[in-house]
Amino acid sequence: LKKHEVDMILLDLMLPGMHGIEVCRGIRKFSQVPIIIVTAQTEEIDRLLGLELGADDYVSKSFNLLEAVARVKAVLRRAAQPPVPENLLKSGILKLNEETHQIWVNDKEVGFTPVEFGMLKVLMSRPERVFTREELLNKVQGYDFVGYDRTIDTHVKNLRRKLAKNGVEECIHSVYGVGYRYHATSA
């Protein structure tokens, strides 16, 4: 495996001389190649252990050939997709990169103030969760901010206006008497 590049590994747990779980654990120390475990062991603990140690899927013998082929195709399809950066929040046509402080709508970069960016980041990070004005202020401006919590309303108004101007409407909802929540966009 260190000498040859492979697309995927079908790994039997019942190997002579070494248990397949140990092989899986060893592979994961240096490679993220997709692994499907194929075994006659049908105990739930075996499946859970295999998946926990890094296998991408688990097929019990005797398996249906068409199902096994479908699982191989699915694992290869997932492996071929480029990884989504951990610092990227996506919701429909809206993307926010925490590291670069950039926001895109339909792959077009849109400018936001640092406070607007921070608010959108907080709201998008927990869709449907209601944040109070005080929580938003603390998360965006910091605990030492001196001012009124109603300033959040102005920032939300500006944020909504900029988003709507770029085709993202009604994603920030007011929750009367509480605060605001982000509703994931489907477009």
- φ/ψ bin of 44: left (φ > 0), alpha (ψ from -120 to 50), beta (otherwise): alpha
The CATH code of the domain that includes 45 is 3.40.50.2300
DSSP 110: E
**Beta bridge pairs of residue 109:** 104
| pTM for this prediction | 0.54
CA–CA gap between residue 94 and residue 108 (Å, rounded): 9
124 domain residue, yes or no: yes
The CATH code of the domain that includes 120 is 1.10.10.10
119 domain residue, yes or no: yes
**Are 50 and 127 contained in the same domain?**
no
60 domain residue, yes or no: yes
**Are 109 and 134 contained in the same domain?**
yes
Lowest mean pLDDT among 24-28, 49-53, 96-100, 117-121: 49-53
3 domain residue, yes or no: no
pLDDT above 60: residue 84: no
How high is the mean pLDDT of the chain?
A: 85
Question: Rg (Cα) of the chain, in Å, rounded?
Answer: 24
1 domain residue, yes or no: no
Domain range for 55 is 9-80
